[in-house]
Amino acid sequence: ADVYRPAAIKQLETLAGEVGALFVTSSTEENPVDIANRAIGEARKLHADVVIIDTAGRLAIDEDMMNEIKALHSAIKPVETLFVVDSMTGQDAANTAKAFNDALPLTGVVLTKADGDARGGAALSVRHITGKPIKFIGMGEKTDA
């Protein structure tokens, strides 16, 4: 449901193809809530157990974007709401994690690029600030890393 960066749609489509996941196409003209609802509808038709809704990256200081993600969350009522953070952001991750944890009922954290230099600080800070478990840790940029 990332409608702000046209390349994001193509990247997700490519990634879905690499891992054998179904992908629901979208365009930058669509509303993220409409995209998410369409994806959920397609998943139901196919009896899929899991739907991953990827949203545009956002800064906690961008009020419009934070309101958009709150509206999306309210509309689709997900079982899991994961905060994805780049471990290379170091201690800045703590500030962002706090803002997202205040705005959404997070259920966990996904830590990416944990093979980089700043991995420990971000992981500990985000875990402490949110009180949520780190559910996934990504290493490298490939799906088999």
Say how far apart CA 88 and CA 130 lie, in whole Å: 18
Digit-coded pLDDT (tens) for 71-125: 999 999 999 999 998 877 767 788 888 888 999 999 999 988 877 665 567 778 8
Digit-coded pLDDT (tens) for 114-142: 776 655 677 788 888 999 999 998 887 77
CB-based burial label for 81 (10 Å; 0-12, 13-18, 19+): middle
pLDDT band for position 145 (50/70/90)? Answer: low
Would the pLDDT of 59 be above 70? no
Say how far apart CA 145 and CA 132 lie, in whole Å: 24
Digit-coded pLDDT (tens) for 10-39: 888 999 999 999 999 888 888 999 999 999
